[in-house]
A and B are shown apart, each in its own frame.
Chain A
């Protein structure tokens, strides 16, 4: 099979980067045109990505990679390069597709913002870095773009920089993910020194760790490397305990939440683990950790999602929870499941965020308690949002059902407890989505709200995403293992599990039904839980007090330590300096007493000195 387009894969990130360069250079002078430049560049990337994907769809296309020496020191060479594999092709399509739709959507959403061209410049830079990250052929290049997407996320979260909350959220997003980056950096250093030939490219990593018995790298080190890489993924993908930044990141514009904090960047952690999966596969401890962290995050975030009132925060916690599912899939060894869920999740979660954005755009609030009955006025938004909610809740035949099913099946094979956790999380997912949907779109309309449907530039992306969220699941069903085969090159190892399908569909429906009973029918009173267990609800509303805990556990002590060090610097380090200064001048003052102005005293001193000298010199002779 030819690899014609793959050779030009490097162009995919170049288009948006060029857009970024143009937008930055031109400055504010081009508000409307600027937006189109960004959109067109992303569209060009999308077209090229689709070309690459088409040429690889048949299955047997060879991986194409190309690299050059970035730094050469002595006999060490650090490379930069790109590689086209099926995995990266899939990510290319997802990123460019969602990126393009978000660009289109932002034309409407950001229309009135005076810094619209800056916004599109940042988005273009993000898209470019994300695409380059996906294409990287080695861990160093990967790390570079990994940081760059982080900084773009930071810039966009803090886009409305005059809001103190946005400033705090941006700072938090960067610093918390940096903790993860630290892990990845150390893993990189470890790999560099332990890998044969200091190779950092994924192919060599695959070869070295896949052989397992090769013994090139001991199990302990392997586990360490895997865990450190996972730390990076935990930071980026908002896994417990580093999930705290992701909900706060909702301070950014909503299209950004869709693009970066739902579909692409936060999934980079999952992508990273999938890309270096051989390292994890070689270490049982690492695998177990990934699975447990993933499962715990899935259920943990889902419970918080139940008690939030901000529409975007609910979706954010949902994202954290779904990313947990993907990690769970990786932890139980199903790369296919993880990537499949990444694919479907990208579509339906981007859809949900854009839908939420459409709602916010229309009613100018994010609190779901102040919404209601919007379904009548915003038909397209409501319908598409509904499809997204069904997909997320895992209702057949929407895409989320199939991907969640793949994960749960794999979990059941490996460890039934993980499966149970996953099922419970799925129930909560359906419940909070039902609550969200019914509170926003069903029920009585609020007084004074003049909701109206968003312009078509915003609804078209919604429709496209809704279609994708519906059909994307069919690439990999229990009856059709094409996607898994295509992605990993392995056999279609899929075995249908009727039990899993039935149970997961049932809990999804049950969640929706209870939600319906509570928020539409009113059969179950809304405060049924909160009146009986107010403590539990408060804990959930306060997100298990994790933020407060970190504040007390890390931030305060560190500040205290810093203050203490400052005192140390002031009084001990500088104090010693001052002390030595004072002691010298004190000594000088003491000696100045000898100078009393009496020449005779001076002469006496001099003579005593000479006598001592003579005695010393003469005495030495007789020693």
Chain B
């Protein structure tokens, strides 16, 4: 049990760091990195539960593999979008990107 809680604590700390980064950083690249951190925190949780949870099963592994794949795809798309944005706006500051409002 203590094993599980230490994994969960680590995951929670990682998640909070990621969340903090997402909410406060102005640089879009850092925001993206922070999102990766959060995803990894979730992965950690999934693995931890699949090993030490109430009903240990393979499902957690599979889901974390999914997540990694999706995260990779997301990073690829995200960076691509960022590059396009940088080309048109010459900035990666998220404060400048408020197109949704209009």
Question: What residues of chain A have their CB less than 8 Å away from a CB belonging to chain B?
Answer: 595-600, 603-604, 607
Contact = CB atoms under 8 A, between A and B. Distances in A.
Contacts of A599: 94, 97, 100
5 contacts: A597-B100, A598-B94, A598-B95, A600-B24, A603-B23
A604 B100 CA distance: 16
A597 B99 CA distance: 6
A600 B98 contact: no
Give the residue among A600, A603, A604 with the most B Cβ atoms within 10 A. Answer: A600
B4 interface: no
A607 B38 CA distance: 14
Of B19, B97, B100, chain A has the most CB atoms within 10 Å of the CB of: B100
B94 A596 contact: no
Those 5 A-B pairs whose CB atoms lie nearest each other, nearest first: A597-B98, A597-B101, A597-B100, A604-B23, A600-B23
Given A595-B101, A599-B100, A600-B94, 4 more contacts: A595-B100, A597-B99, A598-B94, A600-B23
Interface string B9-28: 00000000001001110000
Contacts of A596: 98, 101
Interface string B70-102: 000000000000000000000000110111111
A597 B100 CA distance: 5
Contacts of A603: 22-23
A599 B97 CA distance: 9
Contacts of A598: 94-95, 98
Contacts of B23: 600, 603-604, 607
Interface of B: 19, 22-24, 31, 94-95, 97-102
A404 to B, nearest CB: 96
B19 A597 contact: no
Contacts of A597: 97-102
Q: Which of B23, B94, B95 has the most CB of A within 10 A?
A: B23
Nearest to B101: A597
B45 to A, nearest CB: 16
Nearest to B22: A603
A609 to B, nearest CB: 14
Contacts of B31: 600
A124 B94 CA distance: 92
Contacts of A604: 23
A619 B102 CA distance: 40
Contacts of A595: 100-101
Contacts of B101: 595-597
A400 to B, nearest CB: 96
Contacts of B97: 597, 599
B40 to A, nearest CB: 18
A324 B100 CA distance: 87
Nearest to B99: A597
A604 B24 CA distance: 10
A491 to B, nearest CB: 104
A600 B22 contact: yes
A380 B25 CA distance: 118
Nearest to B24: A600
A418 to B, nearest CB: 92
Contacts of B102: 597
A88 to B, nearest CB: 88
A603 B23 CA distance: 7
A607 B100 contact: no
Contacts of B99: 597
Contacts of B24: 600
A153 B19 CA distance: 89
Nearest to A596: B101
A44 to B, nearest CB: 89
Contacts of B98: 596-598
Nearest to B31: A600
A598 B97 CA distance: 7
A595 B98 CA distance: 10
Nearest to B94: A600
A598 B99 CA distance: 9
Nearest to B19: A607
Contacts of A600: 22-24, 31, 94
A603 B24 CA distance: 11
B1 to A, nearest CB: 20
A607 B23 CA distance: 10
Nearest to A598: B98
Nearest to B26: A600
A389 B31 CA distance: 114
Nearest to A595: B101
A601 to B, nearest CB: 9
A598 B101 CA distance: 8
B14 to A, nearest CB: 16
A596 B95 CA distance: 10
B66 to A, nearest CB: 23
Nearest to B95: A598
Nearest to B102: A597
A419 B23 CA distance: 105
A551 B98 CA distance: 70
A596 B22 CA distance: 17
Nearest to A604: B23
B12 to A, nearest CB: 13
A560 B54 CA distance: 81
A595 B19 CA distance: 20
Nearest to B25: A600
A597 B101 CA distance: 4
